[in-house]
Amino acid sequence: MVYQSYNFGSKFKELRRSKGISKGISIEKVAKDITSKSHLSNWKNGKAILDITVFVKLLSRINIQPAEFFKIMRFMNYTHILMTLLKCMLI
């Protein structure tokens, strides 16, 4: 589960709208075959939680690696957080 307190959703929204070749990709295209548009929207607005595997797939869809995302979020120890999240994916 990705925790709401870090505002991952709002940062994801910002990056989706501005990042590289995925610039301006619609929420429909980002969510397609990964999660519902409404669930993604609720997560971005802090009204829902998101499974870590879904989160990583969504990052991939907008061409961002998890390590890059955590660096952007300015986590001092983002490597530790990334390793914890990856372990969760392997379970």
Residues counted in the chain: 91
pLDDT, tens digit (0-9, with 9 covering 90-100), for 59-78: 999 988 888 888 887 765 55
Query: To which residue do tokens 């709002």 refer?
Result: 10
Q: What residue ranges of the chain have pLDDT lower than 70?
A: 1-6, 19-23, 75-91
Entry pTM: 0.72
The helix/strand/coil state of 84 is helix
